Amino acid sequence: MGEGDGHKAGFSALLSILRYSYELGIKCVTVYAFNIDNFIRKPKDVQTFMELMREKIKEWRQQDY
């Protein structure tokens, strides 16, 4: 896998779970996506992850369900 591919795959899986939860009528989902220990990574890695999270959440919010 290339750099960031694992995170992209994880977000794709998360979106599938959120869609399925929505279809089942689940109103609240807790996601453990980034723990405090990840902040000891290189700042560029943390920034890349946070930007990916913003991008994916924005995409998800713009979709019609």
Tell me, what's the pLDDT at 20? 93
Domain residues of the chain, as ranges? 5-62
Give the model confidence (pLDDT) of 18-64 as tens digits: 889 999 999 999 988 778 888 888 898 888 888 888 888 888 788 76
What's the pLDDT at 10? Answer: 86
pLDDT at 65 over 70: no
Classify residue 27 as exposed, middle or buried by CB count within 10 Å of its CB (0-12, 13-18, 19+).
exposed
Radius of gyration of the chain from its Cα atoms, rounded to whole angstroms: 13
Q: Taking the complete model, does pTM exceed 0.85, yes or no?
A: no
What's residue 64's pLDDT? Answer: 67
Contact 8, 49 (CB under 8 A): no
Question: 13 with 54: CB under 8 angstroms?
Answer: no
pLDDT at 3 over 80: no
**50, 7 Cβ separation under 8 angstroms:** no
Nearest 5°: the CA angle 8, 12, 17 is 145
